[in-house]
Amino acid sequence: MIDLHCHMLPAIDDGAPEWDTALEMARIAIGDGIRVTVCTPHIYPGLYENTAQGIRASVTEFEERLQQAGLSLKLGVGADTHLVPDLLAGLRSGRIPTLNGSRYLLLEPPHHVAPPRLLETCFALLATGYLPIITHPERLSWIEDNYPLFQELAYRGVWMQVTAGSLTGRFGPQARYWAERMLDEGLVHLLATDAHGVRHRPPLLAEGRRVAERWLGPQEAMRLVEERPQGVIQDIDSNQLPVPPGLLPPDRKKRRVSAASFWRQLFG
């Protein structure tokens, strides 16, 4: 399996506090069947001032420490990027990393306040060749009053990443309800761990895959943790990857491929 969202790099955000924890998280991930972890620390101006250069340096050191410890976990570079005014400029300059240098990036909305321009931001990214992946929408406190927004984003080509632990109740009944509903409606493209440690939020992905199997069957469950994540790190066009079942009913197919033109209609 491939984990595209993990806070394993130490002392760089609210994830692993030091190298011993990072190495233990790697052991847990390997034991769970994860073979690739993309390290995605927060980029949150004023709190976590990470850059692509610093993240790459930390990943390089981590790779050396994994080798010394005899741990066979492949790493990638990315970030859990918050909505900021200069997001597009940061991506173009290389200051903000995409996932493994691909067109795909993790985009984290605020947890407790619905951002006023999420649709416009996502469509602007799509129109300029990037593909945003919304992280853990099921855990956002404002999803209940704004669920149609996430449906609309998914129908227009934005990807959704659900946390594996949400499907097992690790984040409470509300997150589990929305994770299951999104699976049921075919809105989920990826599962990831969003791991931050070894106890409360460990890097466990198989638990979510097993729940997804009961909802969607084994083939689609593996697409959530292997085929689509592999496509992301290889930078394969999303149109060449399998679409989640139920995402494209006939009356919505045209809507999904028209994101760029819709954005142009909004902004001229």
Neighbours of 95 (CB within 10 A): 15
Rounded CA gap, 108 and 81, in Å?
Answer: 6
State the alpha helices, DSSP H only, in 128-257: 143-155, 173-184, 206-216, 218-222, 228-233, 253-256
Taking a C-beta distance cutoff of 8 angstroms, is the pair 225, 211 a contact?
no
pLDDT tens series, the chain, 268 aa:
999 999 999 999 999 999 999 999 999 999 999 999 999 999 998 889 999 999 999 999 999 999 999 999 999 999 999 988 889 999 999 999 999 999 999 999 999 999 988 999 999 999 999 999 999 999 999 999 999 999 999 999 999 999 999 999 999 999 999 999 999 999 999 999 999 999 989 999 999 999 999 999 999 999 999 999 999 999 999 999 999 986 754 444 434 433 444 334 343 3
Range of the domain at 69: 2-267
Taking a C-beta distance cutoff of 8 angstroms, is the pair 39, 59 a contact?
yes
CATH code of 63's domain:
3.20.20.140
Q: How many domains does the chain have?
A: 1
Q: What phi, psi does 77 have (nearest 5°)?
A: -110, 135
Global confidence as pTM: 0.91
Classified as helix, coil or strand, 43 is: strand
Order of strands across the sheet that contains 2-6:
2-6, 36-39, 74-77
Q: Quick one: how many helices (H) and strands (E) in the chain?
A: 11, 9
Neighbours of 153 (CB within 10 A): 22
